[in-house]
Amino acid sequence: MGGYFAQWGIYGRNYQVKDIASSGAAQHLTFVNYAFGNLYPKNGGYECDIITKAEPSDSNSPQAGSGGDGWADYQKGFTASESIDGVADSWGLAWDDPRTGKAGPLKGNFNQFKKLKAKHPGMKVMISLGGWTWSRWFAKAAATDALRKQLASSCINVYIKGNLPFDQASNAGGDAAAAGVFDGIDIDWEFPGGGGMPYNAVDPDDKRNYTLLLAEFRKQLDAIGQQNGKHYLLTVAIGSGGDKIANTEPGEYSKSLDWINVMSYDFHGGWEATGPTDFQSNLHLDPDSPNAKGNGATFNVDSAIQALLKGGVPPSKIVVGIPFYGRGWTGVAAGPKGDGLYQPASKQAPGSYEAGIEDYKILKNAPGIVREHPVSKQAWKYDGTTFWSYDTPATVREKLDYVRQHNLRGVFSWELDGDAEGAELTKVMGEINK
């Protein structure tokens, strides 16, 4: 089982790599995906790169125009109290490298993950590329064989070989500075064929090009793996709606992968500002849902998994996603049952970082009555005006039973910093390993 670590979580959320260990989460995680790496137009094509910049004054989420956060990745010097092993990051002395000019020590999140892996040698750490805000160039980068080769080579150069831009201001990075941090690459293209951010490139050949892009990453990862005597992992995060799955070739692209992280959440939420309220990560379809029609009938975990299985994906390559947050509305009518379900709303519920979304650690103690739907197997909380749909330990266990029943590979979470004290949901998810 695994989880995503959000690069920007070290700021407003104050969730550090150290917290993965101190919370007790690390002992349950077989992999952690670091979100996110970006790609840019460069050298006549598209490449992975890390933009160096000064320490941001405030950042709770990635922004499309910022490009990246080299400070969080490898330039920030963690103090002894912030560090996994109690040893502060060293300023170090810059040294001359004939290939890059200068290089300094590794710092930031990357160095903390290297230390975390040393304490938990069974854990794999992967760089996740793209995400909701940084999938702008995937369609163009995947459009031709030459461009696919260029992208894969550059991403391997930065994240597998560890060749980071040297940042003089922080005296960090340089050639091979991050070697050994990442054990593979997770492609989070949201989404082939469209449906992501409005500025994303979309190509009519995205379906086939997605398969070919993954095959190219697999080929190049295998080549460097043969040199290093190591198998480098390749995974993807995919949209779980029926329309998203139909825009890809699951049976073909899965041949290049170690596994598929199914983003089986965000089925409904506050972007549907006036409702009706509905579930955001339900295991099964409730036929009584007002959204249970057309493509909306595929907005449940089971429909996504069955579509992948029917598409030719081996069950051993399917990993079910579990959100550590809820989606919500306020100004919600009680309805005939008094529980707020499937009722109109006035707007998105207020959240700690953005409207309509809230971490499990907050929702757990929020006012209201918690209920679980007998058909959909989703929990929700309603206090008479505000409605939140989210996973509880009980509904997580329902999903674990489903994974076992269908012989799937396992589960993962988005994102680790939303968990409650003591890694409550992560520990429940860890029961899948027993």
Q: Which amino acids are annotated catalytic? A: 190
For 121-136, b/e burial (b = at least 16 CB within 10 A) is eebbbbbbbbbbbbbb
**Residue whose structure tokens are 């125009």:** 65
Show the tokens assigned to 179.
Answer: 């070697």
List own/partner pairs for 12-15 with CB under 8 A and 24 or more apart: 12/58, 12/59, 12/60, 12/353, 13/60, 13/353, 13/417, 15/416, 15/417
Helix (H) / strand (E) containing 45: strand 45-49
Phi, psi (deg, nearest 5) at residue 166 = -75, 130
Pairing of strands 233-239, 357-359: unpaired
Q: Please say whether the dihedral angle defined by the alpha carbons of residues 400, 406, 407 and 410, taken in this order, is positive or negative.
A: negative
342 torsion bin: left (phi>0), alpha (psi -120 to 50), beta (else): left
Transcribe 143-201 into DSSP letters. Answer: SSHHHHHHHHHHHIIIIIS--EEEETTTTEEETTTTTTT-SEEEEE-S-TTS-S-TTS-
Rounded CA separation 218/34 (Å): 19
Do 316 and 263 form a contact (C-beta atoms < 8 A)?
no
Rounded CA separation 189/136 (Å): 9
Residues in the chain: 434
338: exposed, middle or buried (C-beta count within 10 Å: 0-12, 13-18, 19+)?
exposed
**Residue whose structure tokens are 């007790």:** 24
Rounded CA separation 54/295 (Å): 44
Closest CA to 270 of 194, 327, 188: 327
Closest CA to 98 of 174, 17, 178: 174
Rounded CA separation 210/91 (Å): 42
